[in-house]
Amino acid sequence: MVFNSLTFLVFFACVLGMQRLPLGWTTKKFNLLLASYLFYAAWNPPFVLLLWISTVVDWYAAQKLVHAQRPAARRAWMLLSVVANLGMLGYFKYGGFLLANFTALAASVGVQYQAPAFDIVLPVGISFYTFATMSYTLDVYLRRAKPATSFLDYALFVTFFPHLVAGPIMRPTELVPQFAQPRQATPDMLRFGLALVTLGMFQKVVLADGFLAPIAEQVYDGDKLAGALDAWIGTLAFSGQIFCDFAGYSTTAIGVAMCLGFAMPDNFRFPYAAIGFSDFWRRWHITLSAWLRDYVYIPLGGNRHGEARTYMALMATMLLGGLWHGASWTFVVWGGLHGTYLAGERLLRSRFAGYRPGPWMLFAFALLTYALVNVTWVFFRAHGFAKAWSLLGGMFGAHARAAPIVATSGLVLTAVIILGLVTAHWWMRERTLETAIARTPAAVVSVGWAAMLFAIVITQGSGNAFIYFQF
C-alpha cells in the first residue's frame, strides 16, 4: 500500500477514525498494530512472517541478555539478534548478488559453475525495519537503553506503519516511550500533520513523478548517447526526483504520525544547501547517517585511533552505506565516492584549520558540493557501469556531437524546478519548516495548501511506488 493511492486515503481515514473513538489506550494500540500489519500485508501477506520473526527474536534476545550474568552469555544473545536480522537481510536482498559474484569469480579462475535460479522477491522495507529492530538489541547490549516493558509497545514500534517501509529509521528510545501513555492529536497537530501530508504528496506526485522522473528516464533509460547538456539535465532531474521522492515519503510519514498524536524525527534538512559533505550527511537521510555513525563508524574506531584508522573507518562506513542501498557494485561506488569526499574534506579542514571563508566563498562551496553530489547520483541511478561511464563522459564533454535527447521544454522545466529547489533549500538552510510556516500569513499558507492539493489531484501517474521501497 503506497501513501500516494486512494487505497491508503481510505485506510488512513479508517485508522484516524478508530483512534478518535472513546476506546481504552491498550485497545487503540492493538488496533494500530493490526492496521500496521494490514498495511504491510497489502504488499505481500507472507512477508508479515518476517516482521513477526524479527519482532519476537529481538524482544526475546533483549530480555535474555539484560538478565544474563556472564559477558559471554550477553554477547551470545546479542549475536542471535544480529545474525537473525542480517541473515534475513542478506538472504532476501543480497543472495542473488552474492551468487552472481561467486559465479563470476569462479569463471575468472576457469571454473564453470552454473548457479541455480535465485528468483527471490525482495520484501518491501526490509532494510529499514531490520536496522530499526537491530538497534533495539544493540542499545540494550551496550547499556544505552533499557528493554521495553511491554511486548505490545515493542511490536507496535517495529510495525508502526508510517515508518515501516521507508523510514525514518526510528530508535526504540524515540518511539516506544510514546506508547506508554494515551496520545491523541490536538487540532493544531492534526492541521499541521495534514499539511505535511499534502506537502509530501506534492513533492512525490507532482515534482518527482509528474515533472522530473520523465526527464531522468529519457536520459538514463534510453540507448542514445547523451551530450553534456542532456547528461547534466538528466542527472539534475534525478537529483530533484530522488530528493522529492524520498523527502516526500518522510514528510508524509511524519505528518501521518502527527495526525495520530505521535512525533517522528526529521529525515531531511534541506540537503542541497549543504556546505561540504559532512554537512550534506547531517542533512540527507539523517536517521540512516546517525545509525551508520553509532553502529558502524564508532565501533570501527571513529576518530579515536589516529588519522589512518579514522579514514579507514570512514570509508568502510560509506561503502557499507552504499551497499545498504542496493545489491549492486554501482551503489558501492556511490558510497565509495561519498567516503572519498568526506575523507578529502577532513584532510583539507586539517590543513587549513585557520581559514574562515566569507559568505560568497561559502556559497561557492555549496554549489561545488551540489555539483559533486550530482556526480555520485550517476552511479546511484544508472543500471550498470557502462551507462554510468557513458553519462559521466557526456557530462564532461566526451560526446560533443551527440544528438539531443531532451526537448527544449524539458530542459527549461528541469532548470526552473532545480533552480527553485536549490534556492528554497538555501533560503531555508538555517530555518525550520515549522518556524517558516508560523511566520507566513495564514491566507498565504491556505492558498499554497489549496494549490498543492489541486496540483496533486490533476497530476497523472500518482500510483508510482516510492524509489526507496526497493531498499
Cα dihedral angle (235, 238, 244, 247), rounded to 10 degrees?
-90
Cα–Cα distance for residue pair 218/334, rounded to 1 Å: 22
Give Cβ neighbours of residue 348 (< 8 Å, ≥ 6 apart). none
Annotated catalytic sites, by residue? 325
In 226-358, alpha helices (H): 228-259, 277-281, 286-292, 307-325, 329-351
Q: Running DSSP on this structure, what letter comes out for residue 148? A: P
In contact, 7 and 42? CB cutoff 8 Å: yes
Q: How far apart are CA 466 and CA 43, in angstroms?
A: 13
Rounded Cα gap, residues 128 and 136, in angstroms: 13
Give, to the nearest 10 degrees, the angle between helix 329-351 and helix 307-325. 150
Residue whose C-alpha cell is 571454473? 111
Query: Do 164 and 128 contact (CB within 8 A), yes or no?
Result: yes
Quickly list DSSP for 187-202: HHHHHHHHHHHHHHHI
For the chain, the 3-state helix, strand and coil shares in percent, each to the nearest 5, are 70, 0, 30
**CA separation for the pair 286, 231 (Å, rounded):** 28
Contact predicate 185/192, CB 8 Å: no
Alpha-carbon distance 138 to 60, whole Å? 13
What's the angle, vertex CA 461, arms to CA 456 and CA 464, rounded to 5? 105
Q: What are phi and psi of 212, to 5 degrees?
A: -90, -35
Type of residue numbered 395: M
Largest CA distance in the chain: 72
For residues 77 and 64, the answer to whether their CB atoms sit within 8 Å is: yes
Residue whose C-alpha is closest to residue 339's, from 369, 317, 315: 315
- Answer whether 381's CB lies under 8 Å from 213's CB: no
